[in-house]
Structure formats: structure tokens, C-alpha cells
Amino acid sequence: MHHRTHSWLVGLLAGAVIGLPPAAAQQARSGAWTLNGKEGEWTMTGRDYSLQRFSPLKQITTANVAELRPIWSFSTGTLRGHEGNPLVINNVMYVHTSFPNIVYALDLTKPGAPQIWKYVPNQSPDAIPIACCDLVNRGLAYSPSGKVYIELLQGQLVALDAKTGKELWKVTHPDKSGAGDEAVGYKQGATMTNAPIYIKTKSGKEVVIFGISGGEFGVRGRVTAVDANSGQHLWTAYSTGPDTETLIDGDVNANYPSMKGKDLGVSTWQGDEWKRGGGTTWGWYSYDPDLGYFYYSTGNPGTWNPDQRPGDNKWSMTIFARDPDTGHAKWGYQMTPHDEWDYDGVNENVLFENGGKKLLAHFDRNGIGYTIDRTNGKVLVGNAYGPINWAKSGGTGTPVEGVVATGVPVKDPKYGTSSKKNGEGICPAAIGFKDQQPSAYSPVTGMFYVPTNHICMDYEGVEVKYTAGQPYVGAIVRMFPGPGGHRGRFISWDPMKGKVNWEIKENLAAYGGALTTAGGLVFYGTMEGWLKAVDQKTGKVLWQFKTPSGIIGNPMTYTAPDGSQDIAVLSGIGGWAGIGVAAGIGAEDPTAGLGALGAFGDAGQFSTQGGVMTVFGLKNPPLPSSSGK
């Protein structure tokens, strides 16, 4: 089907939710959206550039999922938190790990998927204490020329030969910009944890774009493009600074007065605070090959103490659409001006269509679910998907005041933060009503499926001075369960109405990603280690299995060489929510782990460390041939 026709049909069908013709409703992205990958492959972190995390595979259905069983597993050999998911291309599974960021290639054509090659990068252990919130890595990128890319914690992008695992090149960001010296490695507080993205641009250029972590160490956020074949630096777009360095031409968003003007990345900061202004880019990246727009979001401003940085602090907390050829902004939208709560804005931007419109959905840490016109950055829906109180709304499923009308949420000063007081009972907590765990979209129902946290907090800013490579946090945070006492929810969300259809309450945060399939199922994992399969329409749990450790990774699915559909997920507790278990931090101090121990100090009662990938199928694998007598 021609893509323009396909986009129109998916939009029409998604708006019609009831009575969808099954064959038409279950269309999934293909062609340029998947790098021409086969239907049963998983060629990039969200299966396709849209980050929908929807698979057209449908052997596993609501009728037979109860027969799902583990068929093989693989120990990654590392103990810290395992986020992200493997890739499957040409019957090879590529698996990444937490620090030291090992990459494995596994042969799916043989029983037990034996190892083809293993790559162990040479990284300094001195990078370990610089990582903010565990030693995670969110995954790999792949190019059809036969390269696999991974970001290393210590601050480098590596390209590997997909067949042999040989290191082809390794690059570090340039250490100078127009603003002076830049943080390029762990010694200056810059680390790297997100999955890079490979893009073949509309002009035919092959690029890899990667980000930066270190918002708690006073770095300046950025995204960087290099040549996918040589590693040569092409461009950098900074999150703060003058328009010449943020690569903004004119008004970044003509829809909203507060986002019009020159050099707002400087003038909305006090003095030179923008030079250590955060806005890091460690989340998930999406791309529209039809428009030629690359989408990502920026994180919290540095420091966490809002008193030290009066102003809107642009362009932290911002969704950007950029031209991957040049890095120049097509539009930007700042979600939380002058952030007072560490509502890091880096969560995924999922591309979908409805009623002929090209849309983007974003579930922010600030508790607002956005539906945005992805061609121009205009907000169409901005409703609370949890019981937020920092901004004014009528409660979960209602519009947040100001978001659609002006682009700026109306804050409730009662829940503002300062170094002059301890702000109490703020919802959500700094970890957000959703953190890195990616949502999934289903064209079968037209709904989003969102793993969330249900955590609130007390927050007090403190004065902090900047020293390169040292923490630049500036706040004391204590987190605790939200209303009702549970700490997680898994929800079905209507992106056009801004309403919750159904929800499943979880004891701990639903801190792993989601997967939707044409079989009518949605899969997600819990911090206790349960992988669950749920009916997309009703929210009924149809199957679950306890994996060896807590799940903060993302389930995925693929077609095995024998033609069967398999499901795979990484377990290995960690991340910010699981930092107590991953790093061995006791629960005595509820403010430890940047406040996470207050909410999740008991996580060790439910899960222990250890990275394992578990693969599930409907039938047992064949017995391996034996040479014994």
C-alpha cells in the first residue's frame, strides 16, 4: 500500500475505534519506516521510526496467549539495570547490557541461540559514580550497510561490524563550541545512556544521531549527528544558548507568544547559567521519513534549585522537531517553563495519524498527556493522565489549564518549590507519573498503552555551586506512594479525548516499556519481574510469567526461523526506581537515590539483581541434536 494512502487509512480507522475491520485496522509501519525490514523483524528500538512499538504479528492472540511458555533464556553477565530491548535482523538477535555496555550477537537459527560474537568495550570504572540514576543503557541502532551502534557510558559512540562484532570506529563529541569548553566525557560530568538513531535522510545522507546524559552534573544538553559510515561530526544542536547554537531560525513556535523571539536560549536565563543549563537528551528518538522531521525532547534545567535560575530556562523541557540533514529546528514546544520539580522532559514522542492529521503523542514526567500536530508543534490535547497538582486541572483525564490555549500550563503556587521552604505533597514526584519506560500505540484500537509511576514527593531546593564533574543537583527530595497507596498504574489512553479507558494498579511502578500486537494484546513488565499480557480492549490480564529479576526493559516480538512468533524481554532491576537494589543502597535514608528510596526502599523484598533475557513462544523448541551414544 502506498504510504500516503496507508497514513490516511490508519488515521481514519484510529478515530473509529468501534467496529474496526480487522484486516484494515492492523496495518503496521513498513518500507522506509522500518528500513525496509521484514514484518517479523525488529530493526530499531521501537520496531519502526514512529516508536509505536506495534507489531503486525498475530500468531499469539487473546485466545491462545495462556499457552505462552519460556523457550530459552540468556544471561547478559552484568548486574545493573537493563533498560531497552534487543534487535532482530536476518535471524540474528543483538543484545546490549548495562555497564560496561557489552553487545552480543546470537544465532536464532540454532537451538538455544548460541553466541556469534561478543563485544566488550574498554571503559574506565571511574565513569560509574558519574552516572546519575544507575548504569543503564537503552539500546542499539542498526544500519542496512551492516553496522550496529551503541553509546558508551563514558561518553563515546561506537560502530560495530554486525557480522563480526569488530569495532569499526569510536567517536567523542568535539570539546569546543561557540560558548567555549564543552563537557564531552565522564570527567566533565557527561555520560551517555540512550539508544542512538540511524537515519537515511531525504537527501540520501546517512547519519547517526546521539544524545547526552548528565543533567545532574551541570552539562549543556545537545543532540549530535555524525556520518553513519565514518563517524565524522556533521552538526550539533544545543538545548540552551544563542539561536546559532540551538540551530533555531526565527520563532521556534509561531502558535505561542512565549515561544517567539530571538536567542531565548540565553535571555530566559540569569547571567551565564545557560552554559550549565541541562536540557539533556537521554530519551527516545523518532523520525518521520515522509516529512523528514526528527523528534526528541530535552530534560530538566540545571540546577534543581529553581531560585538559582529565574526565567523560563529555554530550551530545557522542550519537544523539538529538526531536519536531520542540518540539525535546524522545524519547531519546538516547551512543556514546563521554569521547571521547579525535575520533570525531565525526555520521554518518547510517538508518531501516529488520526482523521488525516499527522500527530505526535507525548506522556511527560509532569503528568500531562500531549497530543500535538507534528507538522507545526500546536498542542491539540493536553490532559492530566494522573492526579497532578503542581498545575491546575480538574483531575485525571481533564484539561490542564493553559496548555491548549496558550501553550503554558497554569501553575498552582501552593505546590511550587524553593530553597526557602520544603514543598510538601507535590504530585507527581520528580520521577514523574511516567519516566523512561516507553508507551505503545495500537492501530487496532487507536489507543495508547502507558506504563506509569504513581508517586508524589516533598521537595526543597538548596544552594549549590558548579564544579565540573561534580554533582549539581541542588535539592532534597523525598518520594512516597501517590493517592491510594499503590506505586504504579498501567493505563489505556485515548489520545484524542485525553481520557483513561481502563487501568491496572501495580504495587511497584510499572517501570518497563509496553508492546502492542495485531493479536489484540499488549505486554508490559513490572519491577517485581512479572511479564503480563493484557487484552487491549478490556484491560483483562490474560497471562503472566515471573522472570528472574525486575523488568525495566521493553518487551518485543519477532518471527523465529521456524516461522513461529516469539516474545522477548530483558529483566534486571535498576534504573532510578530500582537504584536501591541495583546499587545496594539501604532504605534508612528516604532521600537517598535522589529521593527514590523513600518510595521504593522495599524493592529488594520483591526482586534481586541480574540481567537475563527470557524468550517465550507457543511451542517448545526442538531438541538439539546429540553426538552422544
Catalytic sites, residue numbers: 342
- DSSP secondary structure string for all residues of 485-538: S--EEEEEEETTTTEEEEEEEESS---S-EEEETTSEEEEE-TTSEEEEEETTT
Cα dihedral 94/97/100/106 (nearest 10): -30
- State how beta strands 167-171 and 176-177 pair: unpaired
Q: In 3D, which of 67, 51, 71 has the Cα closest to residue 59?
A: 67
Distance CA 594, CA 253 (A): 34
- DSSP secondary structure string for all residues of 184-230: -SGGGT-B--SPPEEEE-TTS-EEEEE--B-GGGTPBPEEEEEETTT
Distance CA 64, CA 463 (A): 57
Distance CA 271, CA 287 (A): 35
Distance CA 243, CA 273 (A): 16
**Cβ(396)–Cβ(244) under 8 Å?**
no
Q: Which stretch of DSSP H or E encloses residue 4?
A: helix 3-14
Q: In 3D, which of 623, 579, 573, 619 has the Cα closest to residue 598?
A: 579
The total of other beta-carbon atoms located within 10 Å of residue 469's CB is 18
Q: Which three cell numbers stand for residue 352?
A: 501516529
**Cβ(193)–Cβ(344) under 8 Å?**
no
Distance CA 454, CA 431 (A): 9
Q: Which three cell numbers stand for residue 503?
A: 487501568
Distance CA 179, CA 165 (A): 37
Burial class of 586 by CB neighbour count within 10 A (0 to 12, 13 to 18, 19+): exposed
CA distances from 190 to 31, 158, 221, 534, 596 (A): 36, 16, 9, 39, 22
| CA angle (139, 145, 148) in 5-degree steps | 20
